[in-house]
């Protein structure tokens, strides 16, 4: 896979912290190798799963540098640069590119809502200012403004964006993205909806960006391969097992997908698997207590991920 076309499984890597709440680069290096050793096609730093909005600039740059160094060219490294304005996004983009990121992932600016015309200008300005490919990111639940399919089609046709990651949660809109862009050479659509990877690939998506792929990277790679090979019954069986794995995300409070407890479930599972040292979250995001972490362990045991 090259950066002229993004395909496959590209997990948004978690951001590990030590007991004191400081960035744990040793665990980050282990997590990087855990993903690569299990066959992923790329690594996405500073995504929602990586608690990007809670990090300082120093932490962000340290994360990108660490992952780039540990990856050592084995897979592409992408970095999220979603910010509140064009200037701030360009500034962060320049920083992560200097740190070694080979592409940037950008949702619409958060806080203020934007029109689709403003988004067209936004992505064009970023493309003019940053010397690496741009992956647009649709995640309206976190940034308020959706990327409408017609907007994505325009940006894709003119070459402003290389790919789209869709975490909007609407399979009808995902299909619209795919249909509008399928004739554009090299353009790819990646789904962030971990429950629907098999379905998305049948519809024509080119891969996934699964947060829970931090816990089960080999299984998401297998799911991608089965789906691409047309082994739909086997893919569906594996997809359903991975849906059951999501019970790790519902052990804390609030029990909401995308909440701090969901992300802490990822980290707790990775701690039980020996990949990272703690399940600590970036304050004020809360971490699971000992009883909740034990429930995560039991889910892993019940599904055969842990003995």
* Alpha helical stretches, state H, the chain: 25-37, 57-71, 86-98, 116-129, 140-143, 149-157, 171-181, 197-203, 217-228, 232-245, 260-272, 290-302
User: Taking the mean position of all CA atoms in its chain, how far away is CA 128?
Assistant: 24
Catalytic one of 65, 165, 267, 280: 165
How far is Cα 149 from Cα 172, in angstroms, rounded to an integer?
Answer: 11
Structure tokens at 255: 């029990």
How does DSSP assign 28-75, residue by residue? HHHHHHHHHHTT-S-EEESSTTTTGGG--HHHHHHHHHHHHHHHTTSS
Residue recorded with tokens 């362990």: 297
SS3 (DSSP) at 118: helix
- Is 137 designated active site? yes
C-alpha closest to that of 207 among 131, 135, 300: 135
Structure tokens at 99: 């740190």
Catalytic one of 34, 122, 123, 137: 137
Cβ count within 10 A of residue 38: 17
**76 touches 101 (CB < 8 A):** no
Partners of residue 104 on adjacent β-strands: 79, 134
Residues with a known catalytic role? 137, 165
């Amino acid at each position: 896979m090259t950066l002229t076309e993004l395909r496959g499984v590209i997990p948004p890597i978690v951001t590990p912290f030590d007991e004191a709440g400081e960035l744990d680069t040793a665990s980050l290096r282990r997590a990087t190798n855990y993903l690569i050793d299990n066959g992923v096609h790329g690594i996405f730093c500073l995504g929602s799963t990586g608690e990007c909005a809670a990090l300082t600039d120093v932490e962000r740059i340290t994360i990108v540098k660490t992952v780039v160094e540990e990856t050592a060219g084995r897979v592409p490294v992408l970095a999220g640069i979603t910010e509140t304005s064009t200037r701030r996004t360009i500034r962060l983009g320049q920083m992560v590119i200097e740190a070694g990121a080979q592409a940037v992932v950008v949702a619409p600016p958060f806080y203020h809502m934007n029109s689709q015309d403003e988004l067209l200008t936004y992505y064009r300005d970023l493309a003019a200012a940053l010397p690496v490919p741009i992956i647009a990111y649709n995640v309206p639940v976190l940034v308020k403004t959706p990327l409408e399919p017609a907007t994505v089609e325009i940006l894709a046709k003119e070459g402003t964006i290389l790919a789209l990651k869709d975490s909007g949660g609407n399979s009808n809109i995902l299909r619209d993205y795919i249909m509008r862009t399928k004739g554009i050479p090299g353009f790819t659509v990646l789904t962030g909806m971990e429950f629907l990877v098999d379905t998305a690939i049948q519809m024509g998506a080119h891969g996934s960006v699964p947060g829970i792929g931090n816990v089960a990277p080999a299984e998401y790679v297998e799911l991608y391969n089965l789906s691409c090979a047309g082994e739909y019954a086997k893919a569906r069986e594996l997809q359903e097992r991975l849906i059951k794995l999501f019970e790790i995300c519902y052990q804390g409070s609030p029990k909401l997908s995308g909440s701090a407890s969901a992300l802490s479930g990822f980290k707790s599972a990775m701690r039980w698997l020996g990949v990272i040292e703690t399940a600590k979250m970036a304050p004020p995001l809360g971490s699971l207590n000992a009883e909740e972490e034990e429930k995560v362990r039991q889910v892993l045991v019940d599904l055969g991920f842990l003995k």
